Amino acid sequence: MIKKLEVIFDNGGGVTMQGYKWQCSYNDGTRAGSDAAEILQGANPRLDWDLSPSEYRIAPTWEEIRNGGYQVWDLEDLLAALAWPADEIDERTSWENVKEFVRALQEAFS
């Protein structure tokens, strides 16, 4: 089981997923959501994927998050998103990458 998974959405539409010693960036939320589902289902990104070295990890500051540049989710947030009613996703966020991510995540578990 994965011990740490952080998903960082940026306001330009990108998504970054990272753990303790790995990082992976995406241009859209759909692929990131599918990959997050694989991780939640037991895939080990460090063994199974072609990843960027961990020195490329990103760490948005509180100011960048507060000003709307990033959203940072942890495992608890991912599990909560699995429970979002499908017809309420558009109401819960205006960020397209988050909507794509949540829809792909939920589809993988349906």
**pLDDT tens per residue across span 96-110:** 999 999 999 999 998
Over residues 20-48, the pLDDT tens digits come to 777 888 999 999 999 999 888 887 776 65
Look up the domain containing 43 and give its range: 6-108
Q: Is the pLDDT of residue 68 over 70?
A: yes
Q: Tell whether 84 is covered by a domain.
A: yes
Distance CA 101, CA 31 (A): 7
Position of tokens 């997050």? 36
Number of domains in the chain: 1
Q: What is the pLDDT of residue 52?
A: 56
Backbone angles phi, psi at 46, to 5 degrees: -65, -30
pLDDT of residue 101: 97
Type of residue at 11? N
**Domain assignment present for 1:** no
Residue 58: per-residue pLDDT: 83
Selection from 51, 53, 41, 60 nearest residue 2 by Cα: 41
